[in-house]
Amino acid sequence: MSGKVYLVGAGPGDPELLTLKAARILRDANVVLHDDLVSDAILLRVAASAYLINVGKRCGTKSITQSEIHQKMIALSRQGLSVVRLKAGDPLIFGRAGEEMAALRQAEIEFEVVPGVTSALGAAASAEISLTDRRASSSIVFISGHQAAGKDAPDWRVLAALRATLVIYMPGREHRRIAESLQWSGLSGETACAIVSRATTPGEKIYITNLYHLAEAPAFPAPTLLIVGDVVGMAHDSAAWNCWLPEDAQPQSTAA
């Protein structure tokens, strides 16, 4: 007897941004294998009878390998259980869903993908930034600040030439490197950017600056996301740069 695996997007953190379908599946689940970044407020939506298993891999620390996650999904499903693989944001964006779907196909396990609000959209909404604007940018590029071992870094020259809105997931402590790379590649140091920490949650922090001053930004609690492009400047006047939003927000010393 086999159950079914659901690859579910939990959204950026606010439980009200869960889709109706995701909320229903969480209520009906027997087992939930969740990422470390899934908020407690969302985990409270899981059925009280369900088993919660944290399979998070965060900041380079791995309590479980990706292969072990695959094995758990397959083994639990083969017991006839409804298994939810709950991922922060959207499972298809920097969520290793491709690897997990391949493992489930090979094991002939039924699965379904339930999309979620990716953090770029949650962060942009909180910061009141339109990611596209016909006056400034007609395209968006999502980039990961972390690459798999052996993979080349992004070609910043190509990205800069696109004049697109750049959304960099998981920039970590690489703000100086990113800012220098983009300026060397042709972007003006006056190009506005926004750092959003813990988007859509009560602990959310937003910082507006430009590439010249990006390296001077305070440390932020993870997860963080970096938005770079003229659309940021259009949303926030230069008088607001190098500051927190809202004005009474206080910097935290926790590193991203």
Task: Give me the pLDDT at residue 235, please.
Answer: 87
Its sign, for the CA torsion 194, 228, 233, 210, is: positive
Q: Does residue 6 come out as left (phi exceeding 0), alpha (psi in the -120 to 50 range) or beta?
A: beta
Residues 6+ apart with CB under 8 A from 220: 195, 197, 205, 207, 252, 254, 255, 256
Residue 246, preceding peptide bond in cis (omega within 30° of 0): yes
Task: Give me the pLDDT at residue 148, please.
Answer: 57
For range 74-86, the mean pLDDT: 97
H or E element that contains 20: helix 20-28
Chain position carrying tokens 């900041």: 59
Identify the band that residue 175 occupies on the pLDDT scale cut at 50, 70 and 90: very high
Residues 6+ apart with CB under 8 A from 106: none
Identify the band that residue 250 occupies on the pLDDT scale cut at 50, 70 and 90: very low
Crossing angle (nearest 10°) for helices 97-106 and 66-77: 50
Q: How far, rounded to the nearest angstrom, does the alpha carbon of residue 133 sit from its chain's CA centroid?
A: 22
Question: Tokens in use for 101?
Answer: 């779907």
- Closest by CA to 213, choosing from 188, 236, 245, is 188
* pLDDT exceeds 60 at position 92: yes
Catalytic residues, by residue number, are: 35, 57, 170
Name the more confident of 153 and 202.
202
Count of other CB atoms within 10 angstroms of residue 35: 19
Chain position carrying tokens 């298809």: 92
Chain position carrying tokens 């009878």: 49
For range 48-64, the mean pLDDT: 79
pLDDT digits (tens, 9 = 90+) for 200-249: 999 999 999 999 999 999 889 999 999 999 999 998 876 666 666 554 44
Task: Give me the pLDDT at residue 205, please.
Answer: 93
pTM of the model: 0.88
* pLDDT exceeds 60 at position 114: yes
All domains in the chain, ordered by first residue = 4-114 (3.40.1010.10), 119-245 (3.30.950.10)
- Closest by CA to 222, choosing from 175, 176, 173, 182, is 173
Name the more confident of 58 and 194.
194
* pLDDT exceeds 90 at position 199: yes
